[in-house]
Amino acid sequence: MIRCFQGTLPLYLLLGFTGVCRADPTVGVYYYPWWGAGQGGHTFDQTLRAHTTPNTQLPAVGPQYSSRDANVISAHIDQSHLGNISMWSMSWWGPNSYENQTIRNNILPHPRASELSYTIHYETGGRLGNHNNPNYSNLIPDFQYLATNIFSDPNYMRIDGRPVVVMYLSRVFFDDAAGATALNNMRTTMQNQYGYDPYIIGDHLFNSVSSGVANMDAITSFDVYGQVFGDGVVNQAKIDQLDQIYSSAKNVANNAGVAFVPGLAPGYNDKAVRPGHPPAARYFPSEPFGSAMEAMLQDAVLPNTDVNINDLILVNSFNEWHEDTQIEASVIGPATNTDDTPGGMELTEGRFYEGYGNKYLDILRNATQAAPTTPAEIRWGRGTATGMFVGNYTDLANWNADDVTPDPPRIPGPSDRARVDRSGTDMTFNSTIIANDFLFGVDEAGQTFNLEAGADVTLASNLFVSFNSGDIGFDVQTGASLIVGGNFLLGQHDGKQNGQQFMNDEDITVTIAGMVDNIGDVILGDRYGLLPATTSMDVDVLLDVTTGTLRTSDIKFAPNGDLSTYLAPANSNTMGIQIGDDGLIVIVGSDSTAKINNLIADGLLYTNSATGTIQVSYDGTDTLVQVVLAGDFDGDGDVDGADFQMWQRNPGVGNLSDWQNNYGVTGAQTALNSVPEPTTLVLMLASALILSGSDRRQNM
């Protein structure tokens, strides 16, 4: 994979130009395995996000998690893939530490551990005493322990066969003759006793490179905040200053025969654990959240990576919530600049914070991951073309032609609509696709849109299945998944001619045998509501949930969900949602029970099988009532982490206290004797359980 730069523009997102090109970076993160109960474990009480008001903004898995929980580790691996992260540098505080036990007993032996590589982040401040008067007596025993118990792990990161260790604050512990002697003695012992020559990445940069750089194999800068944001001001000038620091440090390192690893941070606020450090916001003034991290990546970090260490970058941090440097997924919530301190802003100091979800993982992925080496395949009715999916942009290569791939392929901007609009063409996807910020769908007669087994499509915006004339098919096959971030629009146009594009004699059939998670609504009818009620049409729209699952926030027909104001009885229209054998529709919403009842009574929402289920917790006789245990928001019979994820996405599904009280209870343990409130509807999300923070000053 190649990324390219020309000036300061993020041109690696584009194709077909000349410039300075380099391989995609290797992305590592500082990972803190200290969360959880017990001696040495940390809680989230001393984090900014536990004190924001009116709502906290804690990890997506819940207000407290254990780093030893296998589900947490698995979810963090999922998030790492989402962020294009391939290495965890794990905070290590000695053989008897909570962190060491977590690393040895839970992380490295995890069934999915092989999906990443790992290094030790050696916490010098906790092992070698005060940097003004270091005590190196632990250094050799610590590395002997690591060599015996950790370095041999098959997933431990090596460079030229050498186990990699990131050395915190090497710039003050190994910058003089005593430090150099201690380090050399450790290396000699490792080579003589174990055959290891550790590859040391030293935290050796703070504005300038410290003495003793030649004793390192590579250098980095852990403390991004202290170098340029220590006054709390975050702007482009500070990013440019960081770029100059990194560029100079890279030259110094390379001249000494040492590699350089630029550091990255989304922001900084340690007010919940220590006073005296102005917070660094996660945004530029008058710009969106994440703008500071995006600029840092493009203008300071990526231009200064080093091919001598596979263009490695280190992100501070994955989950250091005490200092609010984490990029781990949080709950989603509105922005606020208030907290629960007596003054109302003693922690935020007026900076705004939001429940950001996956935002910083997305920013990291979009900046560091180019087009996949095996692009998604689009099989056309008369030939084959390739689709290149790059960050926030999607290219359905030359979708207006039969089988010609232009050179370079066209990549639409955010205002474009990615669709096939040539009559008689088919689209088939069989690989992973992430497409953001534009409409997506099929829009012409005689088309089919197929998601085969193994296709996992995530759309951030609306998905429309529409027409000018003729029939359209949309098939989510068994083993495929589709996540729609906006609305799933059936039988409505994408906006041409003010949305008035309905014609006569059209049939739209959407068949779901796989999984469809729809964050917005499923809507059958005109998107803009501009067609008069007297419009004469002959349109058949069928959503057929055969053996799959449709999960959505609401189901609506026509403008405002009121079919009676839209279609006259004389019109020969067939609109409906059908559930087949083992099909399941799960709905969440508020004040929707009357609407659902009317849809069922009108024959618009129905099942044709005794095993098909319309799961709406609704006090009515015309629908199958799914009895749900309190706290079992997804209705699967178990109160578990997936239910919290659902509650985080939509707190309206129920009370969090019910989940807390019944966590761990399964359907087998509970009698089905409680009927949910009539207004409770249930949604289960397909997203993997997202889980998500040191207590130290970085700037020495």
Give per-residue pLDDT as tens, 494-503. Answer: 333 333 333 3
User: What are the start-end ranges of the H helices in 453-607?
Assistant: 593-601
- Do 612 and 662 reside in the same domain of the chain? no
Do 423 and 440 have their domain in common? yes
Domain contains 693: no
Which of the pair, 175 or 395, is modelled with greater confidence?
Answer: 175
Structure tokens at 692: 């998500």
What is the count of structural domains for the chain? 3
Q: Is residue 319 part of a domain?
A: yes
Where residue 383 falls (left for φ over 0; alpha for ψ -120 to 50; beta otherwise) is left
Residues 536 and 490 reside in one and the same domain: yes
List of long-range contacts for 178-183, beta carbons under 8 Å, 24+ apart:
178/134, 178/136, 179/134, 179/136, 179/212, 179/215, 180/212, 180/215, 182/134, 182/136, 182/139, 183/139, 183/215
> Which of left, alpha, beta for 372 (phi over 0: left; psi -120 to 50: alpha)?
beta
Q: Quick one: how many helices (H) and strands (E) in the chain?
A: 13, 39
**Cα–Cα distance measured from residue 316 to residue 91, given in angstroms and rounded to the nearest whole number:** 12
- Which structural domain, as residue segments, surrounds residue 666? 627-685
Q: Per-residue pLDDT for 634 more than 50?
A: yes
* Whole-number pLDDT of residue 260: 98
d(CA 414, CA 696): 42
For residues 595 and 648, state if they share a domain.
no
CATH code assigned at 74: 3.20.20.80
Residue ending a domain, choose from 332, 349, 368: 368
Answer whether 445's CB lies under 8 Å from 467's CB. Answer: yes
Percent of the chain with pLDDT over 70: 52
Nearest CA to 449 among 435, 465, 434?
A: 465
Long-range contact list for 383-390, CB < 8 A, 24+ apart? 387/429, 387/433, 388/15, 389/433, 389/434, 389/435, 390/13, 390/14, 390/15
Q: Which residues of 429-452 are buried (b: 16+ CB within 10 A; e: fewer)?
A: bbbebbbbbbbbbbbbbbbbbbbb
93-97, 121-125, 525-529: lowest mean pLDDT where? 525-529
Highest mean pLDDT among 317-326, 536-545, 556-565: 317-326
**pLDDT at 145 exceeding the cut of 80:** yes
Band the pLDDT of 648: cuts 50, 70, 90: confident
Quick check: 489 and 526 in contact, CB under 8 A? Answer: no
Q: Looking at the predicted structure, is the pLDDT value of residue 600 above 70?
A: no
pLDDT score, position 579: 59
Same domain, 232 and 159: yes
Tell me: do 331 and 359 sit in the same domain: yes
In a shared domain, residues 301 and 419? no
In eight-state DSSP terms, residue 123 is: -
pLDDT tops 60 at residue 274: yes
Residue bearing the bigger pLDDT, 329 or 485: 329
Mean pLDDT of the chain: 71
For residue range 165-190, list pLDDT tens digits in order: 999 999 999 999 999 999 999 999 99
pLDDT of residue 471: 56
- Is 492 inside any structural domain? yes
Q: Tell me which range, 58-72, 567-581, 609-623, is most confidently predicted by mean pLDDT.
A: 58-72
Same domain, 111 and 200: yes
Say if 178 falls within a structural domain. yes
Flag whether 385 is in a domain: no
Residue 139 makes CB contacts below 8 A (sequence gap 6+) with 127, 128, 182, 183, 185, 186
What residues are paired with 459 via a beta bridge? 435, 484
Would you say residue 310 lies in a domain? Answer: yes
Say if CB 142 and CB 127 are below 8 A apart.
yes
**pLDDT for the residue 462:** 57
For residue 374, being part of any structural domain is answered with no
CA distance 448 to 428: 8
Summarize pLDDT for 409-436 with one digit per residue, the tens: 333 333 333 333 334 444 555 444 444 3
pLDDT per position as a tens digit, 285-300: 989 999 999 999 999 9
Domain boundary among 368, 403, 434: 368
Q: Are residues 488 and 580 in the same domain?
A: yes
Do 126 and 171 fall into the same domain?
yes
Residues 594 and 471 in one domain: yes
Tell me the C-alpha distance between 584 and 551, whole Å: 8
pTM for the whole structure: 0.58
H or E element, residue 247: helix 236-255
Please, are residues 485 and 519 in contact by the beta-carbon 8 Å criterion?
yes
Write the pLDDT tens digit of every residue in 423-472.
444 455 544 444 433 334 444 444 455 666 655 555 555 565 554 444 55
Q: How confident is the model at residue 63 (pLDDT cuts 50, 70, 90)?
A: confident
Q: Which residue has the higher pLDDT, 353 or 412?
A: 353
Of the given ranges (86-100, 105-119, 589-603, 672-686), which has the lowest mean pLDDT? 672-686
Domain boundary (600, 621, 642) is at 621
pLDDT over 80 (residue 269): yes
pLDDT value at residue 538? 42
If one counts every other C-beta atom within 10 angstroms of the C-beta of residue 490, the result is 25
pLDDT of residue 299: 96
Q: What is the pLDDT of residue 440?
A: 42
Statement to judge: residues 103 and 166 lie in one domain = yes
Instruction: Please check whether residue 406 lies inside any domain of the structure.
Output: no
* pLDDT at 548 exceeding the cut of 80: no
